[in-house]
A and B are shown apart, each in its own frame.
Chain A
Amino acid sequence: MPEQPRYKTTDEVDFVVIGSGAAGGILAKELSTNGFRVVVLEQGPYLAEADFTHNELEVLKRNQLTNHPELQPTTFRKTPQEKAKRHRALVYGRMVGGSSVHFTANYWRFHEIDFIERSTVGPIPGTGFSDWPITYAELEPYYTKVEWEIGVSGLAGSSPFDPPRSKPYPMPPLPVKSGGVIFERAARKLGWHPFPAPMAILSQPRPGRSVCVQCGFCESFGCEVGAKSSTLATVIRMAEKTGRCEIRPNCYVHGIETSANGRVIGAAYFDKKRVTHLQRAKAVVVCANGAETPRLLLLSASKQFPDGLANSSGLVGKYLMLNSGPSAMAVFEHPLNDYKGVAVSRILHDFYELDPQKVGFFGGGGLDARFDLTPINFAFNGYDMGGLPPETPRWGKEFKATLAHNYTRTLEIVGHGTSLPVESNSFSLDPNLKDAWGLPALRMTYKDHPDDLKLGAFLRDRIMELLDAADAVQKWASPVEEQDFAYHLLGTCRLGNDPKSSVINADHRTHDVKNLFLCDGSSLVTSGRGQPTLTISALAYRAADRITALARQGEI
C-alpha cells in the first residue's frame, strides 16, 4: 500500500467519502487530486490482489467479499401491507473497491433515451417515471473519462444502436468465446445486430496491471492479476498517490451527525473493534450503494430531521429498481469451454427501445451470451440455481453423466431490462430485526411492475428464438417471476430538480442539507437496461467536478 496520510478524527478534513466502490473510489480520487483532504470510510476490509482466490467456498458460501447474511441480516416483503420476513434480499461487495471488485464487469453506457424516456413515451400510471435532470450529452464526456481512465475493452461503432461517443474505446474487445460465436451467428440469422461486449477488463496491459488471463472467475470473485478495472485496481491507487487521501477500511458508518444549524459535521462509525468514532469533515459524500445510502440517511434521523436526514421529500429509500433479468440455458453438440475467458463476449441491443404501442407494455433491454457459473454452482441443480437441465437427477450415475457431458457444452443467454420506479418498492429500516452491531436491519419491499414482467417474458421469448436459430440440442428457460433478490440497487435517493419528487439535485447535493452529497446507484432516475456500473462511475466523475466547483466558489 502506498504512503497515505493519517488524519485524526478531530481533524476537520474537507470531505468524508462513505464507501469506496464504483462511485466512492472515483470521488476519492477526483477530490484528492483536486487538492482536497479526503477520508474514505469503507465498511469492508482492504484486500489486495494476493488475497483473491478461486476458492468457491470462501467467496460464494462464506461471503468473503460480500455483505454477510448472518452479521447483516435483511428482511423482505412484496408490499407495504405485509410484515417482512427474514430473507437474504441483496448482495453487494463489502471491501475497498466495493462491488466493482466482484462484479462481472459488463460495462454498457446508457443510451440517450434513458435520460428522457418519460417525456418520450408519456406518463405510466402507478409509477414515479421521470426524466433525468441531466442528459446523455452532458454525461458523455464522463463516460469517456471512465472508459479511458480505468480501462474498458470494446469496439466503437459495432452496434447501430450505440449512442454517440466522443472517443473510441481505449482498447480492443477481449477474445470472443464459443458462446459468443454461437450467439453472433444465430442473431445474424435472425437479422439482429450482435456486437463485442464492452467490458471493464483489460485486453491490453496497463502499468501495474495485467491483461486478462482468461481464468473465467470474474463474477463474484476479485481479479488476482488486476485486469478487472475495479476502483481498487485503478482510481483508489491514484487517490493514494496524491498524499491527501486516507482509505480507512473496516469502518462501518452508522450515522451522519448534524449541527444545530442543519449542517453535516461528520460521520460516526464503528471501527473493527466496534468502538465508535466521529470523523469530522466540512462535507460528506455518501457512496454506500443503493441500499446502504438510504439506510444511513434513515439511521441518521434526529430531532431536526425526524424522518431521516435529507428526507423532506419522504422519498429516501423509495423507487427502488432492480432491472429485470430473464434467462435461458442451452446445451450444444460440441464443447464450448465457456468456463474460460470473461463471462460475456457478445451482446445485442436490438430490443433496447421497444415501442409501447406495438408491444403493449413499456420497457426495453439487451441480451448477452454468458457462462459465469463456477464448477460447484453449475452442479447444484434442483433447489439451487445451477447449470443442469431442471429434470436432471440430483445425484447418482445419471447426475454424474449429465454433469460430465454438459459442463463444457452449456451456454446461458441473459436478458437485461428496465424496471419502472414504483414508490412502494424500497429499502427501509426493519422495525424488529437488528444487525450484529445493534442497528436496524435493511428491509426490502419489492413487487415488479406488471410491465417489467411483460418485458421479462418478451425478452425470454427472444432468447428462446435465438437458441432455436443457434441449433441448440437442448434449451430451457427460467420462469419469469417476481423478484425477491437484488444485485442492482438503483433509484433510492434519486436526482431531480424538484425537492418534492427527488432527494438530490443535479449537483448530487441533497435538497435539504447544503454540505451533504450522495452519489451511487441510488442517484439513478431510471434503471437503464441492466448494466448500471458505468453510469454510476460516470455520474461520480461528473459529481466530483460539480462538488469541486462549488467548494472552490465557497458554496458548500
Chain B
Amino acid sequence: MNESVSRRHFLSRGITGVSAVWASAHWPALLAAAAHAHQAAKSAIPQKFEFFSAEEAKEIDAITSRIIPTDDSPGAHEAGVVYFIDRGLSTFSSEDQRTYREGLPELQARVSEMFPGSAKFSALTPEQQDEVLHSFDEPAGPGKAAKPAQRNLRRRPGAQSFFETLRQHTIVGFLIDPDFGGNRDGAGWKVIGREREHMFQPPFGYYDKGYPGWESAAKEAEKK
C-alpha cells in the first residue's frame, strides 16, 4: 500500500489519527521528555574500564559473545555489552562484584580442566567455548531435568552462579533502552526488530494494516 494513501486513510478514521495530529501540536513537550531521557545517557558508555582489568574484559567479552553470538547480525560484542557490565558493576549492580571476582577464576579453572593446556576461555575455539558454557547449563525450565554431567568435572558453584549472572547481564546489556548505557547503537533492538523511537502510529504490524475499523469489521462478520 502506498505510504501516503495509508496515512490519509488512517487520519480519516479519526480515532487513530489523533496521535499524529496531537503529536505535531505538542511537539515541544515531547522534545522536553526526550531531552530528559537523553540526559541520563550522557554518562553512558565509558571508554575505559572501571571494574575489569583489560585482561578480564577480554574474557568477559569472549563469554558474552557466546551467550549472544555475532552472526549475520550484531551480537553482544557489537552492542558493547562488556562496557555495560563494567559500568554496572561499579554503579547500580555493585552487589554482583563478588560473583564476578570469584566466578571468573573458577570458570578459567574449568577451562584448564576440560582442555588441558589452555588457561583462558578467550583462547579456545568457539566450539570449545560452548562446551565449557554448556557444562554450566541449568535445567532449561520447570519440569526439565538437569543435564547429567558428561564428564567427571569438579563442582564449581561460584562459576555456576557467575555464568547465570553473566547470562542475565548480557541479555540486559544487549536489550536495554540504549539511552541507559547499554545496547550500543541500538544493536540489540535492530536484531529483535524493535524500532528505536518511543512514539508510534498505526498501522503497527502486518495484521492491523487495512483494518476497516471495529464497526465495519463487525458488520462484515454479521454478513457471514
Establish whether residues A404 and B36, one from each chain, have CB atoms under 8 Å apart when the complex forms.
no
Least CB separation from B67: chain A residue? A395
A168 an interface residue at 8 Å Cβ cutoff? no
Q: Which residues of A contact B203 (CB under 8 A)?
A: 178
Interface string of A329-351 (1 = CB under 8 A from B): 00010111111110000000000
Q: Give bound CA distance, A184 to B217, whole Å.
A: 9
Give the contact stretch, choosing among B18-26, B47-55, B100-108, B148-156. Answer: B18-26
Decide if A380 is an interface residue (CB 8 Å cutoff): yes
Mark B155-196 against chain A: 1 for CB-CB distance below 8 A, else 0. 000000000000110111011110110000000110111110
List residues of chain A with CB within 8 A of the CB of B202: 175-177, 214, 341
Q: Which A-chain residue is minimally distant from B63 (CB atoms)? A: A395
Query: Does B205 lie within 8 Å of A375, measured CB to CB?
Result: no
Q: Is the CB of A55 within 8 A of B205?
A: no
Task: Say whether A176 contacts B214, CB under 8 Å.
Answer: yes
Name the one of B33, B171, B204 contacting A379, with C-beta atoms under 8 angstroms: B171
Distance of A383 Cα from B137 Cα, bound (Å): 12
- B198 adjacent to chain A (CB < 8 Å): yes
CB-CB under 8 A from A376, the residues of chain B are 171-172, 175-176
* Pair B15/A397 contact, Cβ less than 8 Å: no
Stretch from B1-9, B68-76, B113-121 contacting the other chain? B68-76
The chain B residue sitting closest to A211, CB to CB, is B22
Q: In the complex, what residue of chain A is closest to B130 when comparing beta carbons?
A: A396
Interface membership of A224, Cβ < 8 A:
yes
Indicate if A53 sits at the interface (CB-CB under 8 A). yes
Instruction: Take A57-B172, A376-B176, A408-B192 as given contacts and tell me if A180 and B15 are in contact as well, using a CB distance cutoff of 8 Å.
Output: no
Check if B171 sits within 8 Å of A57, measured CB to CB. Answer: no
Do A57 and B141 form a contact, CB below 8 Å, given A203-B18, A336-B205?
A: no
On whether the beta carbons of B18 and A178 are closer than 8 Å, the reply is no
Cα–Cα distance between A176 and B208 once the two chains are bound (Å)? 7
How far is it, in angstroms, between the C-alpha of A394 and the C-alpha of B67 when the chains are bound? 8
Known: A53-B40, A181-B207. Contact between A172 and B14, CB under 8 A?
A: yes
Asked if A54 and B140 sit within 8 Å, CB to CB, the answer is: no
Contact call B33/A408, Cβ cutoff below 8 A: no
Give the nearest-CB partner of A216 in chain B. Answer: B200
Contact with B along A396-409 (1 / 0, CB 8 A): 11011001100110
| Closest Cβ–Cβ distance, residue B31 to chain A (whole Å) | 12
Q: Are B140 and A210 in contact (CB under 8 A)?
A: no
Q: Is A204 interfacial (CB 8 A cutoff)?
A: yes
Contact A400 B69 (CB under 8 A): yes
Are A57 and B180 in touch, CB under 8 angstroms?
yes
What residues of chain B lie closer than 8 Å to A58, measured between beta carbons? 92, 180
Beyond A158-B214, A225-B29, A380-B168, whether A332 also contacts B207 by CB under 8 A is yes
Q: Flag A147-178 by CB within 8 Å of B: 1 or 0 each.
A: 00000000100100000000000001111111
B51–chain A nearest beta-carbon distance, Å = 17
Are the C-beta atoms of B208 and A180 separated by less than 8 Å?
yes
A515 → B minimal CB distance (Å): 43
Known contacts A336-B207, A338-B204, A340-B200; A173 and B33 CB within 8 A of each other: no
Interface residue A56 (Cβ < 8 Å from any Cβ of B): yes
A54 CB to closest chain B CB (Å) equals: 5
Q: Which of A176, A383, A404 contacts B193 (CB 8 A)?
A: A404
CB pair A396 B205 closer than 8 Å: no
Report yes or no: A403 in contact with B191, Cβ–Cβ below 8 A.
yes
Q: Give CA–CA (A394, B163) in the complex, Å.
A: 12
Using Cβ atoms and an 8 Å threshold, which residues of chain B touch A341? 200, 202, 204
Q: Which residue of A lies closest to B133 (CB)?
A: A395
Q: Check A391–B140 contact: CB distance below 8 A.
A: yes
CB pair A397–B71 under 8 Å, yes or no, is yes
CB distance from A331 to the nearest CB of B (A): 13
CA distance A49 to B26 in the complex (A): 15
For the complex formed, measure the closest distance between the CB of A443 and the CB atoms of chain B, giving whole angstroms. 25
Q: Are A210 and B29 in contact (CB under 8 A)?
A: yes
| A110 beta carbon closer than 8 Å to chain B | no
Partner of A50, one of B33, B73, B192, B208: B33
B123: interface (CB < 8 Å): no
Q: Is the CB of B141 within 8 A of A395?
A: no
CB distance from A332 to the nearest CB of B (A): 7
Cα(A204)–Cα(B19), bound, Å: 8
Identify which of A49, A155, A215, A382 contacts B198 (C-beta below 8 A).
A215
A182 CB–B CB distance under 8 Å:
yes
Across the interface, do B176 and A56 meet the contact criterion of CB distance under 8 Å? yes
| Residue on B nearest A333 in the bound complex, by CB | B206
Please, how many angstroms separate the alpha-carbon atoms of A213 and B33 in the complex?
12
Distance A95 CA – B33 CA, assembled complex (angstroms) = 20
- The answer to the question of A367 belonging to the interface, with a C-beta cut-off of 8 Å to chain B, is no
Q: Is the CB of B92 within 8 A of A337?
A: no
User: Is there an interface contact between B221 and A188, defined as CB atoms closer than 8 Å?
Assistant: yes
Take A53-B40, A175-B202 as given contacts and tell me if A382 and B141 are in contact as well, using a CB distance cutoff of 8 Å: yes
Which among A54, A180, A211, A400 is the interface contact of B68 at CB below 8 angstroms? A400
A249 within 8 A of B: no
CB <8 Å contact, B193 and A215:
no
Is A85 an interface residue when CB atoms closer than 8 A count as contact? no
Chain B nearest Cβ from A158, distance in angstroms = 7
Chain A nearest Cβ from B163, distance in angstroms: 9
Report the minimal beta-carbon distance from A369 to chain B, rounded to whole angstroms. Answer: 11
Q: Which residues of A contact B69 (CB under 8 A)?
A: 396-397, 400
Q: What B residues does A80 contact at CB under 8 A?
A: none
Q: Write the nearest CB–CB distance from B83 to chain A, whole angstroms.
A: 15
B201 at the interface (CB under 8 A from A): yes
Q: Does A35 have its Cβ within 8 Å of any Cβ on chain B?
A: no
Q: Choose among B137, B167, B188 the residue that contacts A375 (Cβ–Cβ < 8 A).
A: B188
- Complex contact A195–B214 (CB within 8 A): yes
Residues of the B chain whose Cβ atoms lie less than 8 Å from the Cβ of A335? 193, 205-206
B30 near A213 with CB under 8 A, answer: yes
Looking at the assembled complex, report how far the CB atom of B122 sits from the nearest CB atom of chain A, in whole angstroms.
Answer: 17
Q: A407 touching B192 by the CB < 8 A rule? A: yes
**Residues of B contacting A182 with CB < 8 Å?**
207
Instruction: Evaluate contact between A393 and B140: CB separation under 8 angstroms.
Output: yes
Q: Find chain A residues with CB under 8 A from B92 CB.
A: 57-58, 62
Contact A225 B40 (CB under 8 A): no
A24 proximal to B (CB < 8 A): no
- B147 to chain A minimum Cβ distance, whole angstroms, is 12
B205-A177 in contact (CB<8A)? yes
Flag if A339 contacts B194 (CB, 8 Å).
yes
18 A-B interface contacts by CB (under 8 A): A50-B36, A53-B179, A55-B176, A57-B180, A173-B214, A176-B214, A178-B208, A214-B202, A215-B198, A335-B205, A339-B194, A341-B202, A375-B175, A375-B194, A379-B174, A379-B175, A396-B66, A408-B193
Query: Known contacts A341-B202, A403-B191, A408-B205; can you find 9 more A-B pairs with CB under 8 A?
Result: A172-B15, A173-B15, A174-B15, A181-B208, A213-B198, A216-B200, A334-B207, A382-B138, A479-B142
Closest 7 CB pairs of A and B: A178-B205, A334-B206, A178-B207, A407-B192, A337-B205, A340-B200, A175-B16
Residues of A whose CB lies within 8 Å of any CB of B are 49-50, 53-58, 61-62, 155, 158, 172-182, 184, 188, 195-196, 203-205, 210-217, 224-225, 332, 334-341, 375-376, 378-383, 390-391, 393-397, 399-400, 403-404, 407-408, 479
